Amino acid sequence: MRQSLAQHWWLGLSLTRRDLAQRYKETALGALWPFLYGALLLAVFTFVFSVVLRVRWNPGGEAGPAEGAMMIMGGLVPYLFVAETMTRTPTAIVSVPNFVKKIRFPLALLPAVAVASATVILGINTTLLAAAVAVFGDGLSLSVLGLPLIVAPLVLFALGIAYFFSALGVFFRDLAQFSPLLAQLIMFLAPVCYPPTAVPDAFRNVIHWNPITWFVDGYRATLLEGRMPVWSGVVEQILLWAVFALLGWLFFQRTRRMFGDLL
């Protein structure tokens, strides 16, 4: 059992490295792309929401461009992690039919590898945000130590999505086309690029029940506002998304026997 787990661990690690290497293979900028992508996306969103639309992050006073940029980035970092998982996993099994048909391979590793690759990008974006807060903001406080309590349920949430979407992507090929639209919808229905106070009372419940909202609030609280996560909320989120990830894994294992007939 231990040997099997160790083999799966090293195989998953190797596949994650390979996935990240192939993603930027033969590009001129190579490994710089994760940094540039986050910076360029942040610049566009900051210009649109802070300069053009003049979204007010501080109702009691004027927020400068730097503050607005960091608040937007605090929402984008967890959202981009979830969005990448949603858009990549529908083809995680469909894109490797040989793994399903011709060789014995632990297929459950493939959705986990997609999440692991996204987690590396999440780490890079989180580091960029922390550096921006340290340089342009009020500096990092001890509340940054509570960030793993936000990341842990976020990864569990992504794992659940990965297992459900990778299995459903075999049965419904349109999911690969629909998932980017769904990711965009989730973003605009969460306070990623605007403060929660800007949402009319009639739509507060919609924003509240969006699962992304808790992670966005958690990132901003720990990195930008100097507030530690509330333990009761953290435990609730970990239990909720651990069950969600387990259900996704069970659904994947139950349906995997039909993959070979459909590929």
DSSP assignment of 67-110, as one string? HHHHHHHHHHHHHHHHHHHHHHGGGTTTT-HHHHHTS---TTHH
Which residue carries 């990965």 as its tokens? 162
Range of weakest confidence among 72-86, 196-210, 226-240: 196-210
Does residue 20 belong to any structural domain of this protein?
no
Q: How many domains does the chain have?
A: 1
CB 222 within 8 A of CB 233: no
pLDDT band at 59 (very low <50, low <70, confident <90, very high): low
Position 161 scores a pLDDT of 97
Domain span at residue 78 reads: 32-262
Position 90 scores a pLDDT of 94
Q: Mean of the pLDDT values across residues 133-139?
A: 79
Taking all residues of the chain, what is their mean pLDDT, rounded to a whole number? Answer: 84
3-state secondary structure of 188: helix
Does residue 98 belong to any structural domain of this protein?
yes
CB 260 within 8 A of CB 100: yes
Beta-carbon count within 10 A of 3 CB: 7
Does residue 7 belong to any structural domain of this protein?
no
pTM equals 0.89
CB 153 within 8 A of CB 81: no
pLDDT band at 19 (very low <50, low <70, confident <90, very high): confident
Does residue 131 belong to any structural domain of this protein?
yes
Position 241 scores a pLDDT of 97
pLDDT digits (tens, 9 = 90+) for 102-129: 667 788 899 999 999 999 989 988 988 8
pLDDT band at 3 (very low <50, low <70, confident <90, very high): very low
CB 255 within 8 A of CB 170: yes
CA atoms of 228 and 212, how far apart (whole Å): 18
pLDDT digits (tens, 9 = 90+) for 167-185: 999 999 999 999 999 999 9
Helices 147-171 and 211-223 cross at an angle (nearest 10°) of 150
Which residue carries 């960091």 as its tokens? 70
Position 197 scores a pLDDT of 81
Does residue 211 belong to any structural domain of this protein?
yes
Token digits of residue 207: 């924003």
